Amino acid sequence: MKITKIWFEFDEWENGFNEDDDNSDVYFELDDGSKWCAEFFTYKNLITISQKNQHTGECLAGQYFQSNKAIFISKMNKDLIVSVLNEMIQNERDLTSVFTAINN
């Protein structure tokens, strides 16, 4: 299967994004017509979220982090994200285990 369309949430942000410390949804369509969402976080962003939660009290004051099907990457970079998606699409038997299916 191949990606035919892709949309990066961070392209829509007015203030841009931090390649080293951010998170973003990525929506994509495969050549079979199926549509999917992937949730990407940089490794550093997990630490930033934990520190924020320690101050706000969320998630037991930063004691845990919960996200469905999170994918962690070194940098929020389009080329890297596409490479990760292609790798996962080729190697996963059940895409629903790593991505969220989008109903038409």
pTM score, whole prediction: 0.90
CB-based contacts of 5: which residues, under 8 Å, 6+ apart? 28, 29
Q: pLDDT tens across 38-47, in order?
A: 999 999 999 9
Paired tokens of 41: 């976080």
Q: pLDDT tens across 70-90, in order?
A: 999 999 999 999 999 999 999
pLDDT for position 104: 61
Q: Is the dihedral of CA 42, 44, 48, 50 positive or negative?
A: positive
